[in-house]
Amino acid sequence: MSFNVLPDETDSDAPLSPLSLLLADSWFSALPSTVRHVLLDTATRVRLAAGEMLFRRGDAPSGFYALLKGKIKMSTLNEDGREGILTILEPGTWFGEISLIDGQPRTHDATAVDPVEVLLVTPPCFSVLMQDPVFANAIARMLAYRIRLLYGVVEDVHLRSPRERVARRLLLLSGSNTMQESAPHQSIPVSQESLAMMLGMSRQTLSKELKFLAAQKAIALKYRSIHILSLTILSSFSGQR
């Protein structure tokens, strides 16, 4: 299924559509309308059931994706079979470009948290799009953004206190530090074990910091998820200026 119409502006009174979700992403909305048309006209829709994998670590690059519906977790497994969730992708997010650029296998698993719908731009179509300097420069900006996030994670490990690291990662997972302009999501589907693995800290240390943040009414702890009650309070413990 392809898209033939992509307006530059959306009706604010209309129900939220997949295209309006894409336009809420600052990377996609910054593309010229002609490039957006070409990108979407080359894409097809793929649907996944909850728990189904879009790709696995070690897979050959299969495409450039845009998440239209549901959530996708990017994760990896250690030798003991324990899962470490690296991030949770929200609707409107484009991803999968790195393996298409360097031709190397996928580095992580991408799994549907709930029923998911994505747009798929195949590797040949992506290669053709990369011949357009405008699109290639946009991909370079996307990579620069991801590198900044990576540097921030490394900085957190070396320079931040455990409390700041926990608060900053929850803010990141909530979507408040993404390229999207939409409001952050309030429920983060991550277990404390997975969050501890993400942060490289012990379960005991993480539990202590989460209980503190819960006592401050920044978050509420749920079964295999964390609910954000106040981004303002959570941010106050993140060390952000």
Which of 135, 159, 183 is the last residue before a domain boundary?
159
Q: Are residues 104 and 8 in the same domain?
A: yes
Choose among 8, 4, 2, 7: nearest CA to 44: 2
Q: What is the reported pLDDT for 186? A: 77
* pLDDT value at residue 17: 64
Q: Which residue has the higher pLDDT, 144 or 76?
A: 144
Token pair 């593309």 is at which residue?
Answer: 31
Q: Which of 126, 159, 192 is the last residue of a domain?
A: 159
Q: Is the pLDDT of residue 80 over 50?
A: yes
Nearest to 236 by CA among 186, 167, 177: 167
> Do 168 and 111 have their domain in common?
no
pLDDT tens for 10-24 read 343 444 466 778 888
Mean pLDDT of 33-53: 93
pLDDT over 80 at 198, yes or no: no
Identify the weakest region by mean pLDDT among 26-40, 106-120, 146-160: 146-160
Of these ranges, 4-18, 157-171, 186-200, the one predicted with the greatest mean pLDDT is 157-171
CATH of the domain at 120: 2.60.120.10
- 186: domain CATH number? 1.10.10.10
Contact by Cβ (8 Å): 179, 24? no
Would you place residue 184 in the very low, low, confident or very high pLDDT band (cuts 50, 70, 90)?
Answer: low
Considering its fold, how many domains does the chain have in total? 2
111 by Cβ neighbours in 10 Å (0-12 / 13-18 / 19+) ranks as: buried
State whether 101 and 19 are in the same domain.
Answer: yes
Asked if residues 169 and 84 have their Cβ atoms less than 8 Å apart, the reply is: no
Q: Does residue 73 sit in the same domain as residue 131?
A: yes
Indicate whether 82 pLDDT > 90.
Answer: no
Count of Cβ atoms closer than 10 Å to residue 33 Cβ: 11
Residues 132 and 203 in one domain: no
- Domain region containing 176: 162-241
Distances (CA, A) of 22 to 29, 43, 54, 103, 142: 7, 13, 19, 26, 15
**Do 60 and 171 sit in the same domain of this protein?**
no
Question: Same structural domain for residues 118 and 220?
Answer: no
Contact at 8 Å (CB) between 197 and 154? no
> What is the residue whose two structure tokens read 């989460």?
210
Tokens 């379960």 locate to: 203
The whole-chain average pLDDT of the chain stands at 84
Same domain, 183 and 155: no
Does the pLDDT of residue 85 top 80, yes or no?
Answer: no
> pLDDT band at 79, cuts 50/70/90?
confident
- Using 50, 70 and 90 to split pLDDT, how confident is the model at 225? confident
Going by C-alpha positions, the residue among 192, 162, 161, 190 that lies closest to residue 175 is: 190
The answer to whether residues 115 and 54 touch, using CB atoms and an 8 Å cutoff, is no
- In 10 A of CB 132, how many CB atoms? 15
**Residue 93 and residue 210 share a domain:** no
Residue where one domain finishes, among candidates 141, 159, 177 = 159
**132 or 225: which leads in pLDDT:** 132
Judged by average pLDDT, the poorest of 65-69, 181-185, 203-207 is 181-185
More confident residue, 6 or 188: 188
Q: Are residues 239 and 122 in the same domain?
A: no
Query: Is residue 82 within 8 Å of residue 31, measured between CB atoms?
Result: no
Looking at the fold, whether 116 and 180 belong to one and the same domain comes out as no
Within this chain, do residues 148 and 40 fall inside the same structural domain, yes or no?
yes
